[in-house]
Homo-oligomer: A and B are copies of this chain.
């Protein structure tokens, strides 16, 4: 898999396991909260977490994008192209697939003579649940 010049260290093995045992979107901070603390077994420093996330993106295991200042990661390896709906109330990301969107993108790019490397589409709004229940708390505020 990463016979790409990369060494198979215990930290990387642990991080791969941790990252691919869940399928949600996450940022560096959320990931580190799930990991062992300093002094505990399998502790990984934040520098290594950041370095590793970046490597995984380069290696095609993860994709990343910016959302409200943070860098958000999601699985990429063996996972189909998709885009996102972002609920500004519960701050959850929902996925959708649309071939029409990709076609439209290709058309636009062709018109402008653009050589596409990718795209990022995020629809902002309020999800069904949060529309129903205005009292629903934000993820963050629950903590």
Q: Could you say which of B104, B115, B128 contacts A114, with CB atoms under 8 Å apart?
A: B128
Q: Are B126 and A115 in contact (CB under 8 A)?
A: yes
Q: Which of A103-140 contact B (CB under 8 A)?
A: 104-105, 108-109, 111-128, 131
Q: Which of A68-122 contact B (CB under 8 A)?
A: 68-69, 85, 87-88, 94, 96, 98, 100-101, 104-105, 108-109, 111-122
B residues near A3, Cβ cutoff 8 Å = none
Min CB distance A64 to B, Å, is 11
Chain A contact residue count (CB 8 A cutoff): 35
Min CB distance A58 to B, Å, is 15
Tell whether A104 pairs with B108 under 8 Å between CB atoms, given A66-B67, A116-B123, A124-B117: no
Known: A85-B109, A115-B131, A120-B122. 10 other contacts (CB 8 A): A66-B69, A94-B112, A96-B108, A98-B104, A114-B128, A115-B126, A116-B123, A117-B125, A119-B121, A119-B124
Interface CB pairs A-B, < 8 A, 14: A85-B112, A85-B114, A94-B112, A98-B104, A98-B108, A101-B101, A101-B104, A105-B123, A109-B125, A114-B125, A114-B128, A116-B124, A119-B124, A121-B122
